[in-house]
Amino acid sequence: MDIPTVPSEFVSRKLLDPLTLLDIELPEILHALLPTEGIKERVKIMLGVDSIFLYRKNHEEAIHETKSYEFDIIDLQIQIEPHEGLGVTIIGEQPVRVSRIFPDSPADLFGVKGDDIIDSINNVNISQLDHDTVVKFLKSLSGTVTLTILRTKLLNSIQSIWEHYLSIPLLHASVSLYKSGTVVRLNNGFSICSADGEKCVIIYCDDKESTELLLWVTALKKSLLESNLAYTDGLNRLIPRDESVLVTGFLFEQLHPSPNLSYWERKFVVCTQREILIYSSPPPDGHSWEQFDTKLDLMTTTFHILKERNDLRTNSFILRSGFGTHHILSAETWDDLMIWVNALCSSTPKLVVMHPLKRYTGIWKKRRIVFEINFSLSSIQLLDYIDNMVIYSWPFSTIEYTKESLNSSLVIRFIESSIPEHQPSSIQVQLENIPSVIHTLRSFLLTKLSANEPKYVQTFTLNAF
């Protein structure tokens, strides 16, 4: 199937100028490791409707700023309610500089400005205190507080020294909290990378409490999700309903180039009503879905969330195909993981309902038979290969366990008390690709169970498997 070109009005989340900024309070002045420079410097970041924009200081004016040591000394009388706090985030120590002011906070209401240097509080000099001590001091303030600040005289003349450096489109972009390829988290930072991988930057936040990091990652994840959903909705209007796309986005896959080496690689993953497609990068419009690296049939694929291990990133899950392969993938946050889990949980039952009958030819007691999984009858059956007459039939509810024996046979044991006396309590059938058959049977059982008990489908385990 060819991917149709999605009209632009489906891709943009709002019919606004792309430079229109989202109405969200985010810290703007952070640090970034600039990809073209290979250096870490202070940047201004703004989150737009369809892109994230980075600005850097004009070199000439920035040098002029650093040479200025003239300050106005200003005393501010600030009224702070108990447990309210001053309402600022600070960076550095010796001097202590205000990096962000929260709206409607005491600092905002009484005239504290960004880039102010806090020299003393209630005549107590804090310029020689370490960062953590200053933070505790600020949090403990209440009542009438006298704040002595140093404000550069060039403050008004350096407001427009930022120049545009980089724009990264949000559609199909990825955000990661990890150092590239590893299970090691960035130190109070995150990376954002465009869909094609051409534009990437690492952003570092200044506050040690990681409040700024949480704000930015949350806002970016929300914007990325909305962009991807808008694209998916537009795409689904142009393709058959039974081939519709449920969720798209970047995950990170654990790869093992050698037994003692593993690393994590960014993969673009698409979950449709029928299958999971894994790509190295998003397929371009007008090209075929068939350019995937991996395709997994949802009917024969199982998945579950993995427990935390030293070699895994958090929020990892495994996909096991019916053909012996597996893929370990990681989402950045628990909420991201749940988006994929819900898509997988909802798609498999729909697929079973669309294809409620599966038949496999095999050998049972040296007799050629047809092994049938029948969703409509809620049973598995052995049929004669020649005339299709039913030899035996067992309800799904009587299955105790299934396994693959050493001689490549499917073994199914039934609950003896739940079956008629004349029927065997176990069968052993020679079939091709037994893992695929077991996974398919599991999908049928999950679908039947979820119809009566929807929450069961999200427990990811069946005692029979």
The predicted structure's pLDDT at residue 458: 46
Residue 405 or residue 65, greater confidence: 405
**Distance of alpha carbon 170 from the chain centroid:** 14
The predicted structure's pLDDT at residue 233: 87
Residue 44 or residue 305, greater confidence: 305
Percent of the chain at pLDDT exceeding 70: 80
Please write down the HEC assignment for all residues of the chain: CECCCCCHHHHCCCCCCCCCECCCCCCCEEEEEECCCCEEEEEEEEEECCEEEEEEECHHHHHHHHCCCCEEEEEEEEEECCCCCCCEEEECCCCEEEEEECCCCHHHHCCCCCCCEEEEECCEECCCCCHHHHHHHHHCCCEEEEEEEEEECCHHHHCCCEEEEEEEECCCCEEECECCCCCCECCCEEEEECCCCCCEEEEECCCCCCHHHHHHHHHHHHHHHHHHHHHHHHHHCCCCHHHCEEEEEEEEEEEEEECCEEEEEEEEEEEECCEEEEECCCCCCCCEHHHCCEEEEHHHCEEEECCCCCCCCCCEEEEECCCCCEEEEECCCHHHHHHHHHHHHHHHHHHHHHCCEEEEEEEECCEEEEEEEECCCCEEEEEECCCCCEEEEEEHHHEEEEEECCCCEEEEEECHHHCCCCCCCEEEEECCCHHHHHHHHHHHHHHHHHHHCHHHHHHCCCCCC
Q: Report pLDDT digits (tens) over 281-339.
A: 887 664 566 778 899 988 888 888 998 888 899 999 999 888 878 999 999 989 899 99
Q: Is the pLDDT of residue 461 over 50?
A: no
- Amino acid identity for residue 125 in this structure: N
The architecture of the domain spanning 8-58+161-222 is Roll (2.30)
The predicted structure's pLDDT at residue 283: 74
Q: Is the pLDDT of residue 81 over 70?
A: yes
Confidence band of 91 (pLDDT split at 50, 70, 90):
confident
153: left (phi over 0), alpha (psi -120 to 50) or beta: alpha
Just give the CATH number of 69-158. 2.30.42.10
The yes-or-no answer to whether 240-354 and 357-459 have a common fold is yes
Q: Report pLDDT digits (tens) over 158-206.
A: 444 678 888 899 888 999 999 989 999 888 888 999 998 889 988 887 7
The predicted structure's pLDDT at residue 290: 73
Please state whether the predicted TM-score (pTM) of the whole model is above 0.75.
Answer: no
Give the integer Cα–Cα distance in Å for 426 and 401.
10
Q: Report pLDDT digits (tens) over 219-275.
A: 888 888 888 888 888 888 888 887 888 899 999 999 987 777 788 999 999 998 888
Q: Is the pLDDT of residue 347 over 60?
A: yes
Mean pLDDT: which of 103-107, 132-136, 239-243, 274-278 is highest?
274-278
Give the integer Cα–Cα distance in Å for 156 and 41.
22
Q: Is the pLDDT of residue 26 over 70?
A: no
The predicted structure's pLDDT at residue 273: 87
Burial class (CB in 10 A: 0-12, 13-18, 19+), 348: buried
Confidence band of 39 (pLDDT split at 50, 70, 90):
low
Percent of the chain at pLDDT exceeding 90: 18
All structural domains of the chain with their residue ranges? 8-58+161-222, 69-158, 240-354, 357-459
Q: Is the pLDDT of residue 465 over 80?
A: no
Q: Which fold has domain 240-354?
A: PH-domain like (2.30.29)
- Amino acid identity for residue 171 in this structure: L
Give the integer Cα–Cα distance in Å for 168 and 76.
41
Q: Which two tokens stand for residue 33?
A: 């490791």
Q: How much is the mean pLDDT over the chain?
A: 79
The predicted structure's pLDDT at residue 66: 44
Just give the CATH number of 357-459. 2.30.29.30
Q: Over range 38-67, report the average pLDDT.
A: 68
The predicted structure's pLDDT at residue 327: 93
Q: Over range 24-52, report the average pLDDT.
A: 70
